[in-house]
Structure 1
Amino acid sequence: MKYFYRLLISLSGCLIFLLLHSFLGSLPSLAAEKVTFRYGLFEQSIPVADIRNYAEKQKVSGDLQSFLSYFSTKEKQKFQDALQVKMSLDIVALDKLINTGMGKQILSFASGAIARRDQATIQALRSAIILGAKSSEGLGLISFLEAYPSNQLVVDVSKISQLVSMANSSFSSADVPPKDNVSSSPLGKIALQYQILAAQDKQFLGCLFGDSVSAELGNTLGSGTFNFGLDGLSTISLLEQLKSLIPAKVKCEKAIIAIGGNDAWYEISDELFSKNLQEAIALVRTMGNKEIFLIPAFYSTVAASLDPTVAAPLSKVERINVLINQVAETEKVPVAATELATLYENNILKDNLTSDGDHLNAEGLKIYREALLQILKK
């Protein structure tokens, strides 16, 4: 039962991530009043209002308490952090994306985890996404649920494992450390395709290129900026990303490259990392660029660094940062390190700024966002 509840939390992130890249049509604007997780004859229902109340005021109802009681303190914090994610999405780009073959395939696949008595599952999901994205707070888990055109959203847990497997397909669980193949994973491909459609023929005052830590910020750096962060990104996939964006005539006056943690985790060689980073800088300079800033690779906590399935050893991250400084000196670009110093203590991520030891929680993201804004204002 404990594993079952933990799997439900995995679904919350995976399912919504898949659905973020889908759009079309509309249905009567009803709203889901509760979410029901179904596994065979077993069902657990949680009122959507209780979830919002928990997100905004951290008040826990009886129904939600029975759900959260199976989780550790850190897992509860991760769930709370997920509820704070609210994404501002380009509706036109989403419209185009859903009409691609991969967009239709992923939406259809994701709909398999939703149980409905009629045949309108895909249409209902599309409606919830557009209405949720149009809400004043942007698209997030709560706005999606509140826009779902039925009084109940029923999730079939027996099909969750397929979604989780798809979401994690960029890495093989047998690989420690994992291998970088973001550009060949379904989610990596569709995320990049969304970026191309949303940024095509546009000029931005500031662009952020980075991994999952940067991706968690969403497009919250202000008007005229774009966050090109992708989960799992290393310098290998960064080159593929840039080579896809350049033909789309994406222009960036200022660019921040926040990369390196995954390179350390994937055990990419010093020579390859330096070569890739130099090539990435050269490609960014062809995008109408006036200034480039590098950010040191993100450190994790000590505990996370000791688990090869979670993060790279701190010594390897430190080595990557030495290489970043060397490349910066060669390429004559600044390394913005002082702005991020408050995230760390002796090059170790502070426990109160992370929920999993490797990524930033809401408070950590606030500090990171402010640091990026300072850099862009230079």
Structure 2
Amino acid sequence: MLLHSCFDLLPSLAAEKVTVRYGLFEQSIPVADIRNFGETQKVSGDLKSFLGYFSAKDKQKFQDALQVKMSLDIAALDKLINTGMGKQILSFVSQATVFPTRSAIARSDRGSIQALRSAIILGAKSPEGLGITSFLEAYPSNQLVFDGSKISQLVSMANLSSGSASAPPKDNVSSSPLGQIALQYQILAAQDKKFSGCLFGDSVSAELGNTLGNGTFNFGLNGLSTISLVEQLKSLIPTKVKCEKAIIAIGGNDAWYGISDELFSKNLQEAIALVRTMGNKEIFLIPAFYSTVAASLDPTIAAPLPRVEQINVLINQVAETEKVPVEAAGLAPLYENNVLKENLTSDGDHLNAEGLKIYRQALLQILQK
């Protein structure tokens, strides 16, 4: 296990405020204000000033991001951040952090990486799991300073798929740094494990984290399509992971990426065959998620609704061929006439906290059958 005893000896050292520097601009926010905003949506004076630079859409995304709390396998996480890939990611992230001159830790790249590593492990050990707030509260310095000019590079790295008017979106899960490290964590965490339920899906599923109960595992990955799902399963099978029940929630990104009917059906059938090698008793399919009308008309956000509808026709056809059920009833409250309800999404394509409650309950009903 990672050694961070030097930080354990200094329990008073934790980030009390976060500062963003961009050229001559500097804004500091107490970490307590960030936690309060995440829990109650109440905005302090300092945070209000900072959020003044955000659009309404970005404010909601920030609020949603604060709700993400990941329950992680600490041993697997420890191994992950000590791999070559993990060290590269930490090194990259450390370039956007600046140690205050009065920090208890000597200002150096090595010190910055060690601090990030410690905050990740200690944040993951917190009762609520690893999230933005638990990470900040575990950071071994009373102030965490970000170089705003480099934050955009981190955001670009986090984008597993993107689209523009001139370049349609594509599946970049296997080639993106975050996609690779997320899959590597899953490989380490699943090694020789047996789960009562496994969820395979894209970003909508990934947002749930491991909140489906003890003995389950969420293998959801941002940007996942049937192309990367097949690659993911091929990487997981050598771990000898076992899943008694498996839920496959896929299709929205296939529609968005423009994957053909033939390739989608072929990939989904191959994915089902691969999941069957994991010793499961039952496999369930979930229909592809619909977006709002506005999001479906923007090719940089989501697929056209008619294309999602066609993907769902294909899912039902594959399900009939493979003799696996499609569970759609539990998702019905999310939609009105096959369109995502505006009050259940923050961006037109993903679910907000209320939408995730409905989705989680639908999955629990399946797993408890």
- TM bucket normalised to smaller: over 0.9
Distance between the aligned counterparts of 2:88 and 2:164, measured in 1? 24
- Further displaced range: 32-41 or 172-181: 172-181
- TM-score with structure 1 length normalisation? 0.91
- Further displaced range: 296-305 or 118-127: 118-127
Name 1:228's counterpart in structure 2. Answer: 219
Correspondences of 1:138-153 after superposition (within 5 Å): 138-153=129-144
Name 2:274's counterpart in structure 1. Answer: 283
Say which SS state the counterpart of residue 317 (structure 2) adopts: helix
Name 2:112's counterpart in structure 1. Answer: 121
Distance between the aligned counterparts of 2:117 and 2:176, measured in 1? 23
Q: Does 1:368 align with 2:359?
A: yes
Q: Does 1:25 align with 2:4?
A: yes
- Further displaced range: 226-235 or 169-178: 169-178
Name 1:92's counterpart in structure 2. Answer: 75
Superposition deviation, residue 289 in structure 1: 1.0
2:146 counterpart letter in structure 1:
V
Name 2:333's counterpart in structure 1. Answer: 342
1:248-284 deviation digits (Å, cap 9, x = unpaired) = 1011010000000000000000000001000110111
Distance between the aligned counterparts of 2:152 and 2:197, measured in 1? 38
Say which SS state the counterpart of residue 183 (structure 1) adopts: coil
Say which SS state the counterpart of residue 205 (structure 1) adopts: strand
Superposition deviation, residue 69 in structure 1: 2.4
- Indicate which of 313, 317, 321 corresponds to 1:326: 317
CA contact (8 A) 2:198 2:216 kept: yes
Q: How many residues align?
A: 357
Name 1:18's counterpart in structure 2. Answer: none
Superposition deviation, residue 123 in structure 1: 1.1
Superposition deviation, residue 169 in structure 1: 5.9
CA contact (8 A) 1:211 1:259 kept: yes
1:25 counterpart letter in structure 2:
H
Shift in alpha-carbon separation, 1:329–1:205, aligned structure 2, 3 A? same
Distance between the aligned counterparts of 2:66 and 2:98, measured in 1? 23
Distance between the aligned counterparts of 1:370 and 1:256, measured in 2? 14
- Further displaced range: 366-375 or 172-181: 172-181
Say which SS state the counterpart of residue 182 (structure 1) adopts: coil
Q: What is the CA RMSD across the aligned residues, in angstroms?
A: 1.5
Distance between the aligned counterparts of 2:170 and 2:44, measured in 1? 42
CA contact (8 A) 1:24 1:98 kept: no
Name 2:292's counterpart in structure 1. Answer: 301
Identity of aligned residues (%): 85
CA contact (8 A) 1:176 1:309 kept: no
CA contact (8 A) 1:24 1:130 kept: no
Q: Does 1:34 align with 2:13?
A: no
- Indicate which of 182, 194, 201 corresponds to 2:192: 201
Correspondences of 1:99-248 after superposition (within 5 Å): 99-116=82-99, 117=101, 118-119=107-108, 120-168=111-159, 170-171=161-162, 176-248=167-239
1:51-87 deviation digits (Å, cap 9, x = unpaired) = 1111222221111111122333333222111111111
CA contact (8 A) 1:182 1:233 kept: yes
Say which SS state the counterpart of residue 248 (structure 2) adopts: strand
Distance between the aligned counterparts of 1:197 and 1:319, measured in 2? 36
Name 2:104's counterpart in structure 1. Answer: none
Distance between the aligned counterparts of 2:94 and 2:55, measured in 1? 30
Distance between the aligned counterparts of 2:195 and 2:258, measured in 1? 33
Q: Does 1:266 align with 2:262?
A: no
Superposition deviation, residue 181 in structure 1: 2.7
Gaps of 5+ in 2: 102-106
1:197 counterpart letter in structure 2:
L
CA contact (8 A) 1:24 1:95 kept: no
CA contact (8 A) 2:77 2:121 kept: no
Distance between the aligned counterparts of 1:174 and 1:341, measured in 2? 32
1:326-370 deviation digits (Å, cap 9, x = unpaired) = 000011100000110000000000000000000000000011000
CA contact (8 A) 1:83 1:141 kept: yes
- TM-score with structure 2 length normalisation? 0.94
Distance between the aligned counterparts of 2:291 and 2:211, measured in 1? 23
Distance between the aligned counterparts of 2:173 and 2:220, measured in 1? 12
CA contact (8 A) 2:261 2:314 kept: yes
Name 2:28's counterpart in structure 1. Answer: 45
CA contact (8 A) 1:128 1:145 kept: yes
Say which SS state the counterpart of residue 174 (structure 2) adopts: helix
